[in-house]
Amino acid sequence: MPFIIAIDGPAASGKGTIARALAAHFGFHHLDTGLLYRATGAKGGDPVTAALSLDASDLARADLRSAEAGQAASRIAAIPEVRAALVDFQHRFAAQEPGAVLDGRDIGTVICPDAAVKLYVTASDQVRARRRAAELGADPEEMLAQLQERDRRDSERTAAPLKPAPDAVLLDTTHLGIPEAIAQAIAQVNKVRG
């Protein structure tokens, strides 16, 4: 049975960086599930049809990291039929040997509730806004407003809202550098793996 690591948290908290590092460290597969929603939104047309026709090549688009793609992803992620269409993709990915690291908003609560390790990565709104603004070359105040709106939408949606799984370990990266955050995540996985 594959070893599954579920990493959830809001945008720009550091969950993607931590997920990629864990996958590389342990030799596991990695899926940024947000890319599924970004790619679905970027395909245009009917979101449900786009989700049903999604394949791995759609995840390689260069425009998926833009703020616009993130906002579109958040809007279509609130559509239950889109979420349902993408669940099978995520389940198949998580079943790969020797293991998989999936990061998103509902991995530990909905997609992989039986994951061996569940992390909920967070940081203060101001730190997340600064990180995302630096990444995109955007205004930090404008980015703060966008992140707060997205957090509200993601947390209040009926289908798979953003929230930590009851058994998730909280990892607050507000005052952590990347190496420290990764080290804490590796330590959590090692604790479970023995």
Domain ranges of the chain: 3-193
End-to-end CA distance of the chain: 16
> Is 164 flagged in the annotation as binding?
no
> Is 11 flagged in the annotation as binding?
yes
Mean pLDDT across the stretch 62-73?
Answer: 83
Mean pLDDT across the stretch 91-118?
Answer: 96
Whole-structure pTM value? 0.89
> Is 16 flagged in the annotation as binding?
yes
> Is 168 flagged in the annotation as binding?
no
Buried b (16+ CB within 10 A) or exposed e, 175-193: ebeeeebbebbeebbeeee
pLDDT of residue 157: 83
Task: Choose which CATH entry (3.40.50.12500, 3.40.50.1220, 3.40.50.300, 3.30.530.20) describes domain 3-193.
Answer: 3.40.50.300
Residue 122 has what DSSP assignment?
E
> Is 12 flagged in the annotation as binding?
yes
> Is 57 flagged in the annotation as binding?
no
Mean pLDDT across the stretch 27-52?
Answer: 92
pLDDT of residue 187: 98
Kind plus residue range of the DSSP H or E element containing 31: strand 29-32
pLDDT of residue 165: 96
What confidence category does residue 66 fall into, taking pLDDT thresholds of 50, 70 and 90? confident
> Is 14 flagged in the annotation as binding?
yes
Mean pLDDT across the stretch 36-64?
Answer: 90
Indicate whether 51 pLDDT > 80.
yes
Strands 99-104, 29-32: pairing kind: parallel
Of the listed ranges 72-76, 118-122, 124-128, the least confidently predicted one is 72-76
Indicate whether 189 pLDDT > 90.
yes
Measured distance CA(75)–CA(166) in Å, rounded: 25
Measured distance CA(115)–CA(101) in Å, rounded: 10
